[in-house]
Amino acid sequence: MRHTTVDSPIGPLLLVRSDVGLVGLYLSPHQGQHGPQQGWVHDDAAFADLTAQLDAYWAGELHAFDLPLDLQGTTFQRRVWAELLRIPYGKTTSYGAIAADLDAPGAARAVGLANGRNPVSVVVPCHRVIGSTGALTGYGGGLPNKRFLLTHEAQHSPDAALALF
């Protein structure tokens, strides 16, 4: 695994990549991930594509990331993460809606748990999932960061169907 840390408007981001693709993008702290693990190699150059795309995202110019992912999780988690990638920039959905899209209408809680285990925040937009009432719900990077991301996207999307939080 290769890693680097980059600054962002929501704080430092730990980026982790395998030979296959992006494995992790962690806000600090996120899911107990506090820094590089033993055996990881620091390699800023390995993330040039991602850092360029992140810069464009923060500038409001990029609405969908295009880079290889190496998402490591259970089959169900990977199915949920694939659904997250389908949520358009500037839009939100609910845990229940994702469960219904997965033909598992009673699995909103399981979707929430899988959403919370998303290892590639921002790129796999778990921040776009809100409660069925429209309320902001948990976010591994903290609710202020979730609010920031949703507001950022609403401000840069002409089609945004978001309330400015």
Cβ neighbours of residue 47 closer than 8 Å, sequence gap 6 or more: 2, 4, 6, 15, 17
Does residue 126 carry a catalytic annotation? yes
Chain centre to alpha carbon of residue 70: 14
Indicate the length of the chain as a whole number: 165
Q: Locate tokens 């800023």: which residue?
A: 44
Q: Which of 27, 114, 126, 130 is catalytic?
A: 126
Please, how many CA atoms are within 13 Å of residue 83, restricted to the half-sphere of its CB?
Answer: 23
Residue 158: Cβ within 10 Å count: 5
109 to each of 36, 43, 63, 103, how far by Cα in Å? 30, 37, 28, 14
Query: What residues are annotated to the active site?
Result: 126
